[in-house]
Structure 1
């Protein structure tokens, strides 16, 4: 089997996109021997088709490359339809645009507090000091967690993120088990102190029924565990990438600061340009041939959303930031098919408010060092040092 690329090679913030452009051109269905071997789809059409075709490409065997699920199944991401559907059905009403809009002032308050500390210090690391904390605090409000649980989630979530990024298997297992313990505690508390199911994710899952029967306890715990992680890491990385781009492009930064109405469109383009996922996985149930290469049944396939969203055959000037793209609907930043991100509205709201507040915090900011990259399965900035311009 050929070894077409090395996902463990040393990277800069920009180098993965150069490598993926090479693969899209010369090896769009690529294979790596790393982590026991896996395939990677680089082209938009192939990624979108595999993500939508859940009958041929399942997520229940392996949902991410590298495989980091050591402790049980976590719906809805670890299940295929129709098994996954009750879990999404319970969560979806709590994640509509209208429902999450209630969190806008909460998110704004969180952002202002965190950024206020950075401004007072003259700058800092956008990720470590801001975006690593904001999604956790936001999620705590959405999940109705108490202050102690927020503090615990902040610490354990940080450890889990670092462990995954460092490919530290033992630390990943340890922090994952801590997150499971947190999820079990949340479920136990909601059993003892239920909240209205239209106001609380855990209560909604406990109230869900399939053929008159409740969802299995461990699957509810797995769902909460999954929600805790997915809602933390991606926004953190994404905000770091946005800050890195704007630190390099002072003209765009000034334009968005002078016209905040452009921010929502800018976020959509940033999501396309810096899609934070490259390792969501599927497994083909039968041998499948894509662009002349046959992928044997049972082997993991990474859907490289970050590459698909820079496919030159779909997006003109794909490496450029353009506010006026006519085909933003083609973006796969939130996936496709039955596993399209159920929390997309909340994630997008977090990013919009975070960017509005970052731009409003000071007359300007610039990079204070090179942004440091994440590693598989995320892609983007793990660290973005900036310094703020002082008011005149």
Structure 2
């Protein structure tokens, strides 16, 4: 169960803390209650982030050799950093994603989304199916990120393939052959990042100027490209799919009775792209009455915490603006709260405002399919077409 069904099982009965053994026999404590998840996230002394980027499927020697051949390393940088260097690294990245800089990108993004929506509308009107993931959402966050942070000169497709390969390599249950193939893809692009980290401007230059070693610069770029944009394109797709089944919400958006910002927050609560996150217990203790020995892997079920009836009025209903809607933990909490939350919200707000009308009068041809993964949902497509009209109309 540890990997499959995270999104579909959130409504099933679960204790506040449950012991689960994964596909390779590792014991984890799964934490489901909102208050307990927040407690763990807010206490980096007792619950450290050191295992956040550990591969959930131990890598065979063949895959490790591939990564070593590309000089691949992920030192403590952002999500997995409990050291004294974390606040300074985080501050540099946060400055690159400052709310004022993010807001300045909104007119450009709005124009781009409108252009794509017009093209998709024409295709729908012509009776053609359209993929709202591939043709709208997939590359938008990467294009915005590239305007905020200088990135390596690489094709968008190559960056997307690298990011998805990394999410699979480190967070999915895999066989050895697949791990080697993914290690080859991730290692190859890691080399591109390493070269850019040594000479690139913008964020890379700021980190170098701060005295951070090359591996840290590479690690920051790695995390931005993997978590800083891939998760947002996932969320845009999941949110649009959810809105396709919420005609009352779409009607409220048209009339102005439903606020775009409230739709985004309710989407983050019910359709988060990151459904779990990990911590490791640094000391012996208890959590929700359950003993937690030092060294225990803790899986924080963020998606279920967002449906905790203790914090939200109607946990399983998509009701923008309802009590508790904004208390979700889609961006985490505490010292490691997502540094790109303002950016993700802005991008989602633009897509909701501009693209939701595409969902009126369509039928879903292919809903998003998400592969088996502990943490990331990774939808692969979302295909719709216009509902056929009777011949006499």
TM-score by length of 1: 0.83
Structure 1 partner of 2:134: 128
Question: SS state of the match for residue 367, structure 1?
Answer: strand
For 2:181, the equivalent position in structure 1 comes to: 171
SS at structure 2 position matched to 1:34: coil
Between 338-347 and 351-360, the greater mean CA deviation after superposition: 351-360
Contact 1:247 1:386 in 2 (8 A): no
Q: Is the 8 A contact 2:279 2:298 kept in 1?
A: yes
1:136 is displaced (CA, Å) by 1.7
CA distance in 1, matches of 2:104, 2:114: 17
Would the alpha carbon gap of residues 166 and 136 (structure 1) be closer, same or farther in structure 2, given more than 3 Å must change? farther
2:196 equivalent in structure 1: 186
Moved more, 114-123 or 265-274: 114-123
Partners of 2:285 and 2:340 in 1: CA distance: 31
The answer as to whether partners of 2:280 and 2:295 remain within 8 angstroms in 1 is yes
Shift of 1:270: 1.0
Structure 1 residues 89, 379: CA separation in 2 closer, same or farther (over 3 Å shift)?
same
Whether contact under 8 Å (2:29, 2:298) holds in the other structure is: yes
Instruction: Report the Cα distance in structure 2 between the residues aligned to 1:283 and 1:158, rounded to whole angstroms.
Output: 25
Please report how far the alpha carbon of residue 130 of structure 1 lies from its aligned counterpart in structure 2 after TM superposition: 2.4
2:70 corresponds to which residue? Answer: none
Partner in structure 2 of residue 144 of structure 1? 150
Relative to structure 1, the CA distance from residue 181 to residue 51 in structure 2 (aligned partners, 3 Å threshold; closer, same or farther) is same
Q: Is the CA contact (8 Å cut-off) linking 2:243 and 2:356 kept in structure 1? A: no
Q: More displaced, 111-120 or 298-307?
A: 111-120
The one-character-per-residue Cα deviations of 1:218-266 (angstroms, maximum 9, x if unpaired) are: 1111111111101122112211221121111122123213439711121
Secondary structure of 1:112's counterpart equals helix
Retained in 1: the 8 A contact 2:3–2:173? no
Judged with a 3 Å threshold, the aligned counterparts in structure 2 of structure 1 residues 354 and 385 are, in CA distance, closer, same or farther, namely same
> Which residue of the other structure, out of 383, 386, 392, is the alignment partner of 1:385?
383
Q: 1:187 to 1:364 in 2, by over 3 A?
A: farther
- Counting only pairs closer than 5 Å after superposition, residues 271-290 of structure 1 correspond to structure 2 as 271-290=268-287
1:7 corresponding residue in structure 2:
2
- Measure the CA separation in 1 of the matches of 2:221 and 2:102: 18
Aligned to 2:13: 22
Q: Which residue of 2 aligns with 1:376?
A: 374
Residues 119 and 388, structure 1, Cα contact 8 Å, conserved in 2: no
Q: CA deviation at 1:151?
A: 4.7
Return 70-79 or 163-172, whichever deviates more.
163-172
Shift of 1:161: 4.7
Partner Cα separation in structure 1 for residue 151 and residue 378 of structure 2:
29
Residue aligning to 1:55? 45
Change (3 A) 1:255 1:124: same
Gapped regions of structure 2 (runs ≥ 5): 65-72
**Retained in 1: the 8 A contact 2:252–2:258?**
no
Give the TM-score taking structure 2 as reference length.
Answer: 0.83
Corresponding residue for residue 3 of structure 1: none
What residue in structure 2 maps to residue 88 of structure 1?
90
Shift of 1:7: 2.2
2:21 to 29, 32, 53: 32
- The answer on whether the counterparts of 1:367 and 1:387 sit within 8 Å (CA) in structure 2 is yes
State how far apart, in whole Å, the 1-side matches of 2:133 and 2:47 are. Answer: 34
Report how many residues are paired.
Answer: 368
Q: After superposing the two structures, state which structure 1 stretch, 375-384 or 178-187, moved more.
A: 375-384
Q: Distance in 2 between matches of 1:205 and 1:261?
A: 42
Cα gap change, 1:115/1:260 in structure 2, threshold over 3 Å: closer, same or farther? Answer: farther
**CA separation of 1:125/1:16 partners in 2, compared to 1, >3 Å: closer, same or farther?**
farther
How far, CA to CA, are the matches of 1:388 and 1:99 in structure 2? 38
CA distance in 2, matches of 1:390, 1:68: 50
Which residue of 240, 245, 248 corresponds with 1:251?
248
